Amino acid sequence: MNGTHGIRRVGVCGAGTMGAGIAQVCAVAGFPVVLYDAFPEVLPKAVARIEQDTERQVQRGRLRAEERARGLAYLSTTSDLGSLSGCDLIVEAAPEDLALKQDLFGKLAATAPEAILATNTSSLSVAEIASTTPRPERVAGLHFFNPAPVMALVEVVRGPQTSPEVVDRLVAFTQALGKTPIVAQDSPGFVVNRVNRPFYSEGLRLVGEGLADCATVDRAAREAGGFRMGPFELMDLVGVDVGYAVSRSFHQAFFGEARFRPHPLQRQMVLSGRLGRKTGRGFYDYQQPPPEPPALPTPHPHPGPYGVAGATPFAAELAARLRQGGFEVVELAEPPDGPLSVAAVFEAEVEDRNRKRAFLVALDRHLGEDAVLLAACTNASAAECASWTRRPGRVAGYVTLPPLADRRLLEWTSHEAAQADPTPYLAALGLPLLRIGDAPGGVFPRILAAVVNEAAFAVAEGVASPQDVDLAMRLGVNHPYGPFEWAERVGVRAVAGVLEGLRDYYGEERYRTAPRLKRACWLGRWPEP
């Protein structure tokens, strides 16, 4: 297994879950592996875990019996650091403690001076870890995802002094393992952990502000967004304490940047000992059988006719969907200047707040007294939309992003002065209805916009290419699409509109639009890196 990487023998430091998983991947791929741990009693447990996991893979048809036997034969263990002296690559998988890793790397550099030294850290600086070695150009990050035998992605992290040759060799080696590498710069969180921070933080803000409960946020993320798990389900799985520690680390590493500010709810959960699945209680109670999610209402739709107001691609999609449902539709590409005889109007200006206001003012003036005005609350709250009209009681909001074919529910909202029940009219779109509190962006559009924005910041800072960011988010955290793919799918101007609405509503720098995303809106495409 030489290939172009020149790596023949691999050492792995640390026989915990990640270390054992990395050793297993390397051995099964045909590399002789020395698994080291300073505590000898840990090693037999690690080998037993590898034996059990590879046996399960054979039983499931994912691994041939002869490949398993060969892999186990390639695996050896040691508690003597000197046994790693003949390794071409040593992968460190010790606990996330900077002082511990620095001490270990200093010893490894003396033990195997010609070896490439790679850290599996997910949050610490490669540069700081490399600082205790005489040859920092031979130190890089090799960040596997848990469980290493299953997850396809590996982040190859280039430190400020890592040589291009070492990066190239690690990329080739990762490919020889059957994994998919991306190259990332040494920046806090690298790609996946950084770009995915808003997935958690926006969920926490929604719950903290009383706009939705945990189950509602998670349901919207899954059924409106297509995420495999919602943010609170995922935080409970990873560990609430782990997430809180990572949030604090990011906030510190970015010198207090508002986008990474931890939420008080995280601290409260940790102090109360509700750490997630591992303690039986987190945002959910795992000591009780999981409750069945309540069925979402799907009212009988009002017969219409309907208006669709807006000049966006989303407006055209809304009109087409209503017609497919058998409803009569009046399309308005510009604000009306005369009477409009419809039962309800879907306002669909999800990109430009000024045009949204102009449409709502004109619609309110020309609609019949009993007509309902359904505002797209991606970029403005229902209350703000209602404030632009003379009859705010008729205004309610719906929150979604195109294409509607991707959605399995429709978020909707209302405001304190609302009088009309909008649900029979919203039901005309043929989606179950999930009610949320009133703020721009709802749940899914808000989370998505923040993730896309963070990806745009990261690419502009040279952390990784847009293509690698998209690949990393699909493989590393199972997002349906990468953030740049997703922005193209829903429309970059619609994404920017969500951020504009949030920034105007909260008055916070946290929601400032990344310059790269602004340029994409101006140019109609993503600018070159």
Q: Encode pLDDT of 412-440 as tens digits.
A: 999 999 998 999 999 999 999 999 999 99
- Whether residue 133 has pLDDT greater than 90: yes
pLDDT value at position 525? 84
- Whether residue 529 has pLDDT greater than 70: no
CA dist., res. 1 & res. 402, Å (int): 47
Q: For a pLDDT cut of 90, what percent of the chain falls above it? A: 94
In the predicted model, what is the mean pLDDT of residues 176-196? 97
- Whether residue 244 has pLDDT greater than 60: yes
pLDDT value at position 247? 94
pLDDT tens-digit series, residues 47-74: 999 999 999 999 999 999 999 999 999 9
> Annotated catalytic residue: which of 143, 302, 366, 415?
143
CA dist., res. 223 & res. 436, Å (int): 14
In the predicted model, what is the mean pLDDT of residues 187-210? 97
Residue among 58, 7, 48 nearest 31 (CA): 7
143 is catalytic: yes
> Annotated catalytic residue: which of 193, 379, 381, 414?
193
Q: How confident is the model at residue 4 (pLDDT cuts 50, 70, 90)?
A: low
pLDDT tens-digit series, residues 477-526: 999 999 999 999 999 999 999 999 999 999 999 999 999 999 999 998 88
pLDDT value at position 1? 44
> Annotated catalytic residue: which of 155, 384, 485, 500?
155
Straight-line distance from the first to the last Cα atom of the chain, in angstroms, rounded to the nearest whole number: 35
Helices 444-460 and 515-523: crossing angle, nearest 10°?
100
> Annotated catalytic residue: which of 92, 120, 122, 381?
122
- Whether residue 17 has pLDDT greater than 60: yes
In the predicted model, what is the mean pLDDT of residues 81-96? 95
Question: For the whole model, what pTM was predicted?
Answer: 0.94
Q: How confident is the model at residue 298 (pLDDT cuts 50, 70, 90)?
A: confident
pLDDT value at position 210? 97
251 is catalytic: no
122 is catalytic: yes
Mean pLDDT of all residues belonging to the chain = 95
Residue/partner pairs of 106-109 with CB below 8 Å, 24 or more apart: 106/132, 106/133, 107/81, 108/13, 108/81, 108/84, 108/133, 109/133, 109/134, 109/135
In the predicted model, what is the mean pLDDT of residues 161-187? 97
In the predicted model, what is the mean pLDDT of residues 302-322? 96
Find residue 399's DSSP bridge partners.
411
